[in-house]
Structure 1
Amino acid sequence: MKPMLDGKVIVVTGAARGIGRAAAYAMAQAGASLALADFDEDGANTTAAQVARLGARCVVVRADVSREEEVAGLVNAAVARFGRLDGAFNNAGIEQRNTPLHLLSEAQWNAVNDVNLKGVFFCLKHEIRAMLETGGGAIVNTSSALGRVAIPNAAEYCASKGGVLGLSKAAAVEYGSQGIRVNAILPGVIRTPMIDSLVSQPQFAGLLPALEARHPIGRLGEPDEIAQAAVWLLSDLASFVNGSEFSVDGGYLAV
């Protein structure tokens, strides 16, 4: 049986660490060739070195997804290296500022939404352009359970991730008939370096047990659990899945 992504060319943004790094590894294991992108080029190169040990072909592109010209350059680099683009995991994102809405500045709002929402728009725009030239593909966008429900002091983050859901559905409706599937993954709280750093701060003492208890499964998620869902959504096994909100949240949204 062939690997699920055998021969496919996939872009992964936010590939320097966390979910993006796990996705790159899982997609390489599934047979994909990869264009790995991150603002942190050193981190992306570390990911690429791990992927190379699996025998996967890859190219690293330093890209700030909030800048359209850099996203266009990423997609162009993938096509130049591999001849086409079959899929994308638009995963790059940053966390909320932990500020009450009435104190949130425009700069804080823009910092989060420029990456989390506008960055996904730029990725979709240029990935779809490339896929239309070669007959289609599949795209997975990282939203969040917080695109559906909210927590305090995260208005800009919740808005950005809710926007990703709407944007994903709009693209799915517009391009499904042209052979391009677009879906969104909604992770719960995932044990990434960002979360580890947060829960280690003295002011957030006791946060980790509270986060674990919020998930009916009784623990946080692991990056590879999101990565494996992305692999399936990008594969031909998910050929009738389009415009979905794919929750991988340990039951967070079921409570």
Structure 2
Amino acid sequence: MDALLDFSGQRVIITGAASGFGKLLAEGLAQRGASLVLGDINQQAVDTLAAELRAGGAKVFSQLSNVSVEEDCRRLVDTAVSEFGGLDIAINNAGVAQDFVAFEEIDSVEWNRQWAVNVGGVQQGMRYQITQMKRQGSGHILNIASMAGLGGAPGIAAYAAAKHAVVGLTRSAAMELGPLNIRVNAACPYFTLTPMVAESPSAKVNGVEAMAATLSRGCALKRLGQPQEVANAMILLLSPQNTYMTGQCVAISGGASSL
């Protein structure tokens, strides 16, 4: 296996692992030799995925995990340490979408949901991940943010605010932890037809194809990315050979960041 894509011996946590990017990352890293702790709010789905990966020879543990609950974030790290002896890579992927609404229609329920999961889930996860990585003297955290965290996002302002916060957490932690040999980066995808997007209220009302056609006009390639394309870019960012990148919030956007 090419050393760039060899994750043998790497001990990895993935949140939101039962679907979308999380599932693709779990499958891709398992194929490349990583040992995985998978968390998701859908326990049946994440347990099924773990069983499939173990059948293929991977070392995988799964557990129910609601990242808005601090204890669940701690338990993921505890499992990595107890089962694998440590934690090399943490992928804070779990998140919730926001349906398109006018700014003034964002209520406190939606705002609090975005903050609890998309921000709190990352911050709480990082607390325990960093504590373990400090003990080891090394580690890499990848937060899954969004293009909405790098610029304005009309119609999804609460989601954009939350993802801007993830970008801020990423950059701040990278500066603080760099001297300790702990790297922190973020991936910032454009709209991609993961289940979170394809099964959103807007997609159900307008149809997935119509929604995709509208959103595609916002990027240079004039098409939405396939989830696997985006996951492949994330795997490159995670490579154990990619050792001099930290504090970066990388657009995976089909050129949307160039417009």
The aligned runs of 1:221-236 (5 Å cut-off) are 221-236=225-240
- Are the counterparts in 1 of residues 146 and 188 from structure 2 also a CA contact under 8 Å? yes
Aligned with 2:101 (options 88, 99, 109): 99
* Structure 1: distance between partners of 2:121 and 2:77: 13
What amino acid maps onto 1:226 in structure 2?
Answer: V
The residue aligned with 1:62 is: 64
* Structure 2: distance between partners of 1:111 and 1:41: 20
The residue aligned with 2:83 is: 81
**Is 2:243 the partner of 1:239?**
yes
- Are the counterparts in 2 of residues 5 and 234 from structure 1 also a CA contact under 8 Å? no
C-alpha displacement of 1:30: 1.7
* Structure 2: distance between partners of 1:211 and 1:10: 33
C-alpha displacement of 1:194: 2.2
Query: Which stretch has the larger CA shift, 42-51 or 64-73?
Result: 42-51
Query: Which stretch has the larger CA shift, 186-195 or 197-206?
Result: 197-206
What's the Cα RMSD here?
1.6
* Structure 2: distance between partners of 1:254 and 1:174: 29
C-alpha displacement of 1:64: 0.6
C-alpha displacement of 1:192: 0.8
**What is the percent sequence identity of the aligned residues?**
35
C-alpha displacement of 1:24: 0.3
* Structure 1: distance between partners of 2:204 and 2:235: 33
TM value normalised by structure 2: 0.93
The aligned runs of 1:1-255 (5 Å cut-off) are 1=1, 2=3, 3-198=5-200, 200-203=203-206, 206-255=210-259
- Are the counterparts in 1 of residues 185 and 249 from structure 2 also a CA contact under 8 Å? yes
* Structure 2: distance between partners of 1:201 and 1:130: 42
**Per-residue CA distance 1:126-180 (angstroms, 9 max, x = gap):** 0011111112111100000011222332111000001100100011001111111
- Are the counterparts in 1 of residues 97 and 197 from structure 2 also a CA contact under 8 Å? no
Paired residues in the alignment total: 255
TM value normalised by structure 1: 0.94
* Structure 2: distance between partners of 1:4 and 1:162: 32
What amino acid maps onto 2:60 in structure 1?
Answer: C
Query: Which stretch has the larger CA shift, 219-228 or 33-42?
Result: 219-228
Structure 1: gaps spanning 5 or more residues = none
What amino acid maps onto 1:69 in structure 2?
Answer: E
* Structure 2: distance between partners of 1:29 and 1:91: 19
C-alpha displacement of 1:101: 2.3
Show structure 1 runs of 4+ deviating over 4 A.
none
What amino acid maps onto 1:68 in structure 2?
Answer: E
C-alpha displacement of 1:41: 0.8
Query: Which stretch has the larger CA shift, 124-133 or 145-154?
Result: 145-154
C-alpha displacement of 1:200: 4.0
What SS does structure 2 have at the residue aligned with 1:140? strand
C-alpha displacement of 1:37: 0.5
What SS does structure 2 have at the residue aligned with 1:50? helix
- Are the counterparts in 2 of residues 89 and 140 from structure 1 also a CA contact under 8 Å? yes
Q: Closer, same or farther in 2 for the Cα pair 1:228/1:203, shift >3 Å?
A: closer
* Structure 1: distance between partners of 2:52 and 2:226: 18
